[in-house]
Every structure is written in structure tokens, then in C-alpha cells.
Amino acid sequence: MSAPEARTTPFRIAMSTGGWLVAAFLALPILVVIPVSLTDTSYIGLPKESLSLQHYEAYFTSARWLGGTLGSILVGLAVAFFATVLGTAFSIGVWFLGGRAATIARWVLIVPILVPPVVQSLGFYRFWVQLGLIDTWTGVILAHTLLALPYVSISVFAALANLDPKLPQAARSLGASIWRTVWEVVVPAARPGMITGAVFAFIVSFDEIVGVLFITVRRVETLPKLIWEGIQDNIDPTIAAVATILVVISLIVAVISGLRRS
């Protein structure tokens, strides 16, 4: 260990200060939506004379905003369910198989992380037209499930890295069927990864915008789509109120997950 006085060298002070500055750069710009959402003006800006909740009222009384929010939540839940089921089964199968073919299969499943969003959305659009899935909730759930699968398979596979392969073998040699072994030995070991994966899948779907812009028209509206259109058309402070609500929820979730981890 270095001597105690080494802790306060100019180099270490510079790195610590730099670290805090970078963290401030990451966190502070996000928080700017909070004061803006409380503005008493009808345009985006800081409050002029007093604080006002009018833009929150506008959000909570708008059928369109609430409908989009509900739509996004339901799609997110459906995506979390389908992606977790498919991704967990995949990772467990591949974990048992091992070897070259299994590694290739894992690469195939993470392709959506690497393909540019606009490119994959063009693909969705053309195929969804053929399938009659344009502007349907089914179409959005299917597209989002594909985009969420990589995250589920990565986190489930990471959880299985801690499972000793001898355990399922022991269950088998004691007479358990293959499905019972999977269900009672492997799935419990995969559970932490499944939970992380489901949360990731929900967030991927809840935030997704490019695909939705391509495969929906007017009937299907998600929250990101309404925010996107709001930013493009006129900058209305309702967006700041929505953004604040989302940031505050994110903060709460981040704090809870941080506390659980420590």
C-alpha cells in the first residue's frame, strides 16, 4: 500500500476533481427539466414570476398524453414478458450446449445492439407492411421484443456463469428428467439475470422511438412518440413536465436499485 501522504498528490487531486466534474456534466443537464416544468410561462424557459403546476395539469388532463403513457407501459410489460421467456430459454439451452455453435447463436442474438436503429427500422417497416402489422400494437410489441432479446440473453447468461455445471449433472444422475432439471436447478440460478433482463427489456421498449416512428402511423401512439412530435412541432412546456415525471421515477428506481446492491 502506498504511504498515506500519497493520497493527496496533485495527480490524485486532479483525477478526483476531474471525476466529479464529469459526473456533474452527466447528471446536471438532466435536472434542468425540473425548474422548466414549473414555469408559469407558456413557452420553454425558467419560471418568470412564480412557480406553476399548469403544465402538470395539462399532462394529467390530456387523454392523448395519458393514453400514450398507458400504451407505453403495457407494451413495455408485454415486451418484458416475451423477451424474458424467449431469452431465458435461449440462454439456458445455449449454456448446456456450449461450444462453437452455441457461441455463434449468442452472437446472432446480440445483432440488434450493433445494427443502426434506422436500418433495422427500415427492415421492420417493409416486412410489417407485408404482414399487415403496421400501426398495430402487436407490431410494436414484436419489434421491441426483438430489440430487447440481446439484453435478456446477456444478463441471463451472465447469471448462469455462476452455476456449476456439475449441479444439473447431479440432478440428472439422481433421476430427474431434463425439463425438471432445467426448471428446478437451472432456472433458480438464472433468476437474478432474468429479473435484470426483464427490467432492461421494459426500459428498452419504454424508451424506443426510431422503430415506432417507422412502424406506426396514427392509431398507435407511445409516450416517446408523443414527446418526439412535441419537440418537433412546438416546444410546449408539457414535455418538460412529462420529462420531470420520468426523471423523478428514474431517480427513485436508481436509488432503490443502488440501495439493494449495496
Partner 1 sequence: MTSDKARYWLLALPALAVMAIFYIWPLVNIWAISVTEPVPGFGNYVQGAESQAVTTSFVITFRVAALTTVFCVILGYICAYAIANTIRRAKPLLIALVLLPFWVSVLIRSFSWIVLLGRSGIVNDALRDVGVIERPLRLMHNEFGVVLAMVHVMLPFAVLPLLANMRGISPAYTDAARGLGASELTAFRLVYLPQTLPGIGSAALLVFVLSLGFYITPALLGGGRVLMVSEYITYQIQEFLNWGLGSALSVALLVATALVLVIAGRFLNLKNALLERS
125-164 binders of partner 1 (CB under 8 A): 126-127, 142-143, 145-146, 149, 153-155, 158
The answer to whether residue 239 forms part of the interface with partner 1 (CB under 8 A) is yes
- Least CB distance to partner 1 at residue 178 (A): 5
Give, as ranges, the residues between 181 and 200 that touch partner 1 (CB under 8 A). Answer: 182
Buried b (16+ CB within 10 A) or exposed e, 21-56: eeeeeeeeeeeebeebbbbeeeebeeeeeeebeebb
Burial classification of residue 85, based on how many CB atoms lie within 10 Å of its CB (0-12 exposed, 13-18 middle, 19 or more buried): middle
Q: Which of 5, 26, 217, 233 binds partner 1 (CB under 8 A)?
A: 26
Angle of helix 99-114 relative to helix 137-160, nearest 10 degrees, comes to 130
- Least CB distance to partner 1 at residue 122 (A): 6
Q: Which stretch binds partner 1 (CB under 8 A): 50-58, 59-67, 73-81, 232-240?
A: 232-240
Select 74 or 97, whichever has its Cβ closest to partner 1: 97
Q: Which of 50, 107, 217, 233 binds partner 1 (CB under 8 A)?
A: 107
Q: Which of 53, 111, 167, 170 binds partner 1 (CB under 8 A)?
A: 111
Burial classification of residue 239, based on how many CB atoms lie within 10 Å of its CB (0-12 exposed, 13-18 middle, 19 or more buried): buried
